[in-house]
Structure 1
């Protein structure tokens, strides 16, 4: 459906008990389908956890979902953003305009939002084209970026001007939510400032002796069937060599320690056995790291060549242009982890850069 075209939405709201609901807000032209926006009742009014993509149909769905929960957008007291991606933060500004709600986000992702708001389209396109050339992207991948730069188009840029948050989510602290007990857990990896939100209250469907502790709003950190994308933390003005995959694996260990009775993610569906899901993800990434190192034993490869050889949800030839850029970022994140573990290294003087096993 074209942007700006409206269609009456039927709210498919799920009540999870204890003053918690979820509203599936559609993501246009995305295989994920929707973002699960969660509503949490507080003594000052409803608080949203994420808001969904900035799109008219998504807005209509969100407002219809709030009505199905017995609320309206004007009632919203605050917005807690798990991370800065547009399918989570996109509608936050519109919610604030309609209700006067505050918007809270971890400082690291708030800084990403600031850079995005201030970025010149041409500088981002220059950075992206140069970076992709260094990692071995072929000319047919670079050509559309260069054409966009030459014509002044910004098709490769993140869209719009995301809302600047006005509150900080501080890890480890209880959030200011009257009548509720929720603590922020910093879980970097998917983004530098991703947070999970731990509702430290007895699960309404369980007794005091039930296994697990409270409920975890996990954003994109922990999903029941999908391994979240772990790429690089992009900052054209910062040359710090980060380790997003290492951050993510460490963050997974924090979730095991929490041992929540139920996980309420931002995609797919709610699930139990968070420790089991964490162990599966840890195995997945260890197996992937081992497999990528094996590929580097035979001959040095560029990150682009490594991405071509990795297993994705479809053949490389069928992956669209933008998704290939994301896939290469994920290959780079795994390479950085291998280098940090002492299992691979860059070939000195190689251009484009190649890596080899050690």
Structure 2
């Protein structure tokens, strides 16, 4: 069930914004008080129900969405950035995100303008080893519109434009290249977006599956180590609920992924297997046979990210450069 909006004290409010049809159920949008109007951390999914929840949730604290000063987006994913453009239209607020995610948002807009996105994703599935039937199903899928382009780009260590407060950017790549956490230095709190959640682990995927010169899981593990070294009283994530014990939770997530790396290593052998075959051999919340194509696509992205880290560690190797992608034990 979606919780009620909540006054967290210290000039911070939490507004749960629904994500229609998604098991995550809602995004926790946070509003921070400033003399010039509230600044939001994330905005929620672009949907009329989500907009009504955001608008009415702010109003329950006497805040008007038309008075929002700015929106800081922790990362470009639609359940975080989707409504940022609508907030800007209603209030004239600025939108800020890390420059690495700003580049991806621009790339998405360019892909929509040329209708290249569907071709690109279909080609990635083909290279992974998806069947002809799965590729046909993919061609029928509706795609999510890209989020609004930001007005401001952030970098690691920046202070957000938050009059009277100190909200510092911590670049935590992994879940997205430009994911950021935000440390409220004057309030002993950290907003972690999807980087550190209390019970679940965020999706870490490699897209395209053979994108060169990047290691999203390696980046994520390094980012987790960075925040694990911080001393912060309360953690305010974008999903589920607030918690304490940032160090312990970050270390537990690192342990989860190390276990996943061991599981993939156990599937590798001298005989190369396709990315799709290796992904199907892993344990998932739902059996591979019953997964919808969208879930299989994300699962393959996660497997590809783990395989990239295993390549960097000298455990796995890519077998040739042809289609489909194949991997073997080094």
TM-score normalized by the length of structure 2? 0.95
Corresponding position of 2:218: 246
Given candidates 194, 199, 206, the residue that maps to 1:225 is 199
Equivalent residue for 1:345, pick from 297, 304, 317: 317
CA RMSD of superposed structures (Å): 1.8
Q: Which residue of 1 aligns with 2:90?
A: 98
SS in 2 for 1:119: helix
Taking the aligned partners of 2:153 and 2:203, their CA distance within structure 1 comes to 24
Distance 1:248-1:343 versus aligned 2 partners, 3 A rule: same
Is residue 116 from structure 1 mapped to residue 90 from structure 2 by the alignment? no
Distance 2:263 2:211 in 1: 28
1:140 paired with 2:125, answer no
Query: What CA distance in whole angstroms lies between the structure 2 residues aligned with 1:304 and 1:21?
Result: 43
CA contact (8 A) 2:124 2:208 kept: no
Asked whether the equivalents of residues 138 and 293 of structure 2 are also in contact (C-alpha less than 8 Å), the reply is: no
Q: Deviations over 1:129-152 (max 9, x none)?
A: 222112211111111234x4xxxx
| Deviation per residue, 1:232-262 (Å, 9 max, x gap) | 1459xx9533100001001101101222111
Aligned residues: 328
2:296 paired residue among 311, 324, 334? 324
Matches of 1:325 and 1:274, distance apart in 2: 31
SS of structure 2 residue aligned to 1:276: helix
Aligned to 2:64: 72
Partners in 2 of 1:30 and 1:251 — Cα distance? 27
Q: Which runs of 4+ in 1 moved over 6 A?
A: none
Structure 2 gaps, min length 5: none
1:23 is aligned to 15
What secondary structure sits across from 1:297 in the alignment? coil
* 1:154-303 paired onto structure 2 within 5 Å: 155-157=141-143, 159-202=144-187, 214-234=188-208, 240-297=212-269, 299-303=271-275
Specify the SS of the correspondent of 2:160: coil
On the 8 A contact 2:126/2:324 being kept in 1, the answer is yes
Q: Which runs of 5+ in 1 are unaligned?
A: 1-9, 149-154, 203-213
What residue in structure 2 maps to residue 126 of structure 1? 119
Q: Which moved more, 1:165-174 or 1:267-276?
A: 165-174
User: Under a length normalisation based on structure 1, what TM-score does the superposition of the two structures give?
Assistant: 0.88
Residues 156-205 of structure 1, C-alpha deviations (whole Å, 9 max, x = no match): 53x22421110112211222211111100000000000000000124xxx
